[in-house]
Structure 1
Amino acid sequence: MTTKPTFGTHPFLLGFEDLERLVERTARASDGYPPYNIEQTGSEGFRITLAVAGFAESDLSITLEDRQLMVRGRQAEPEGRTFLHRGIAARQFQRAFVLGDGVEVGGASLENGLLHVDLQRSVPENVVRTIRIETGSRDEG
Structure 2
Amino acid sequence: MNNGFISSLRYKSHLYIIIHNDFLYIGETGSHPAIRWGRHIVKGGTFYENLKYFHDEEIQQDKDIFFCCYELSIVDKEIKSKRRLARMAVETELHKLVCLQPDKFGFESFLTSRYEEYPVRHSFGFAPAAIADKIFDRAAKDFAEWSKQ
**What's the TM-score, normalizing by structure 1?**
0.20
The structure with more radius of gyration? 1
Bigger relative CO (Cα 8 Å, ≥ 6 apart): 2
Structure ranking higher in helix proportion: 2
Structure ranking higher in strand proportion: 1
